[in-house]
């Protein structure tokens, strides 16, 4: 059975992952409102990924005999200045989430919970990807600019993203 501190911290992380989903869905709505359907598609898939991150914690907590408690999800920002402004926000948000995951790992180690530490390593690796993906798009937009032809091409590219559920290896 999982210890109470970790149970509380994982419940908080479920809320944080669902907030991430909410934030990215709001970004998707913003992109729809400015007729950038490719960007909107990328964000919608990003939101789906975040929901799957929440569900992975949900299942894990149940498996360990913990009790999942769902709490309020705070409202997300709904307006941004430009596409690059949005992706800078994604990047900083992912850095914040990496910090939360690292804190969870610290707690698992402190509580001598090897199973949780092992489970959390999936998220440690995932955060490396999340930060790299966001930062790559920021760099591209900075290099090409986020208006006119460059924006059109980027919209085409981001429109190609398809949802791939996380591998079942950590079941
Ligand atoms: Fe996540
Ligand atoms: Fe993420």
Local confidence band at 165 (pLDDT 50, 70, 90 cut-offs): confident
For ligand 2, the distance from its centroid to the CA atom of residue 44, given in whole angstroms, is 12
Q: Which tokens is 100 given?
A: 């939360």
For ligand 1, the distance from its centroid to the CA atom of residue 75, given in whole angstroms, is 17
For ligand 1, the distance from its centroid to the CA atom of residue 96, given in whole angstroms, is 11
Residue 150 has pLDDT above 90, yes or no: yes
User: What dihedral do alpha carbons 32, 37, 41, 44 form, nearest 10°?
Assistant: 0
With b for 16 or more beta-carbon neighbours within 10 A and e for fewer, the 49-79 pattern comes to bbbebbebbbebbeebebeeeeeeeeebeee
39 close to 33: Cβ distance less than 8 angstroms: no
pLDDT tens digits, 12-66? 999 999 999 999 999 999 999 999 999 999 999 999 999 999 999 999 999 999 9
Report pLDDT for 168: 55
For ligand 1, the distance from its centroid to the CA atom of residue 149, given in whole angstroms, is 32
């Amino acid at each position: 059975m999982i210890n109470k501190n970790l149970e509380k911290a994982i419940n908080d992380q479920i809320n944080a992952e669902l907030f991430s989903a909410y934030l990215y869905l709001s970004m998707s709505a913003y992109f729809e409102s400015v007729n950038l359907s490719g960007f909107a598609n990328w964000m919608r898939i990003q939101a789906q990924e975040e929901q799957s991150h929440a569900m992975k914690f949900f299942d894990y907590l149940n498996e360990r005999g913990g009790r999942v408690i769902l709490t309020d999800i705070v409202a997300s920002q709904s307006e941004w200045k430009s596409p690059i402004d949005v992706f800078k926000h994604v990047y900083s948000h992912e850095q914040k989430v990496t910090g939360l995951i690292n804190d969870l790992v610290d707690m698992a180690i402190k509580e001598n919970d090897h199973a949780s530490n092992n489970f959390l390593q999936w998220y440690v690796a995932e955060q490396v990807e999340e930060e790299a993906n966001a930062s790559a798009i920021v760099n591209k937009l900075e290099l090409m600019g986020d208006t006119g032809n460059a924006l059109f091409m980027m919209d085409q590219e981001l429109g190609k993203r398809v949802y791939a559920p996380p591998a079942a290896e950590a079941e």
